[in-house]
Amino acid sequence: MHKFITTMFFLSFTLFAFSKSKRPQTDSITTKEYLSDTVAFTSSDATLLSGTYTKPKGITPKAHIVLISGSGAQDRNSDLLGHKSFLLLSDRFTKAGFAVLRVDDRGAGKSGGNYNQSRLTDFLHDTEAAIDFIKKENKGNPKICLIGHSLGGIIGPKIAQERSDVHSVIALAGPTMRGDQLMLLQKELIEVKMGYPEQMVKPGVENFKKLYATLLKPHVDMETTKKDLATTAKEIFPMLPENQLNMIVGQLTTPWLYDMIRLDPQDYLTKLTKTTLFIFGEKDLQVPPKENEALAKTYLTQAGNKHFETKTFPNLNHLFQNCASGLPTEYGTIEETFSEEVIGMMIGWINKVSK
């Protein structure tokens, strides 16, 4: 989720470490065992998107998978702190008999556009363009499964609810709480885990609750929103210099983040009847499993969905690495890129539901 609230200040502590760490799961990956093509297509607003489409050799793919990244402009491999989780997932899924499309986000890799000037709907349209590309490239009616991580775990289920040509969806650490509530909870959990005293944590949460409440109000346009938020920020932080107040306002009104703060997954999950799998990590501090798994079950049950599963894996963090604390400070220091146990479960699940 958004790095101003959660991980931005953690990354500086881990950047020095990842260059010295091995990445055994991806260091030896080659594409000799399957077909791998660089592809390009355009989104609904004519933004050029570039990606890699892998297919098993000599067989018809069991299903076609679209990988959807989390927040922040990421390349097709979802390269973060030296970890290339989407390269790993693509390799494992393709070797298991699936075709996989992974795409550079707007403003990353070889894709055009500007990520932080985009709305959440732009990301939805980009994934829909990926679906349309697969349908155009393959005759008949290919089975398409969406797999989204974090913010991608919002986009995948939302599109699956809206489009009849999506066969199934997996949400990896997919948020089910309303955006503002999720971000308040992750802020509190991370700061408590870091050892901050309660007298520091609670006031900070209350301050951001006021900021989010301002963002939740209806506004005529974004400029009006920014002015209203600036007033709230100045009331909350009267001692902060203007440049820091402007930074808070600017980051919280980043178009896609503004949309996410206001988004309530209840709106689409209570209508989602497609075959669905939600997977969480027990030590995830960014999309806490207890609250989000419970809501996933509640909403999908309300939808009358007879084909959903949820599972929380022990000892895994937000990136699905086995970890000690779950803090983002660990992400770059852990050699494991993504739990092989989770990968195995996903492969088994897609094999089962795509028959």
> Which pLDDT value is given to residue 289?
98
Query: What is the C-alpha separation between 102 and 130, in angstroms, rounded?
Result: 9
Q: What's the pTM? A: 0.94
> Which pLDDT value is given to residue 355?
85
Question: Looking at the DSSP assignment, which residues form a beta bridge with residue 309?
Answer: 277
By the 10 Å C-beta count (0-12 exposed, 13-18 middle, 19+ buried), 136 is classed as exposed
Q: What domains lie within the chain, and their CATH numbers?
A: 8-177+265-353 (3.40.50.1820), 179-261 (no CATH)
> Which pLDDT value is given to residue 20?
53
Give the C-alpha distances (Å, rounded to integers) separating 16 from 82, 145, 320: 11, 36, 21
Q: Which residues of the chain have pLDDT under 50?
A: 1-19
Sign of CA dihedral 131, 134, 138, 144: negative
By the 10 Å C-beta count (0-12 exposed, 13-18 middle, 19+ buried), 291 is classed as middle
> Which pLDDT value is given to residue 140?
83
Reading the block at residue 337, the tokens are: 């890129």
Helices (H) and strands (E) in the chain, counts: 13, 10
Query: What is the C-alpha separation between 116 and 56, in angstroms, rounded?
Result: 35
What percent of the chain has a predicted confidence (pLDDT) above 90? 92
Query: What is the C-alpha separation between 231 and 343, in angstroms, rounded?
Result: 47
Query: What is the C-alpha separation between 169 and 162, in angstroms, rounded?
Result: 12
Which parts of the chain fold into alpha helices (H)? 8-18, 24-27, 85-95, 120-137, 152-162, 179-193, 198-216, 222-236, 242-252, 255-262, 266-269, 289-302, 340-353
Sequence-separated (6 or more) residues with CB below 8 Å from residue 112: 47, 48, 49, 106
> Which pLDDT value is given to residue 286?
98
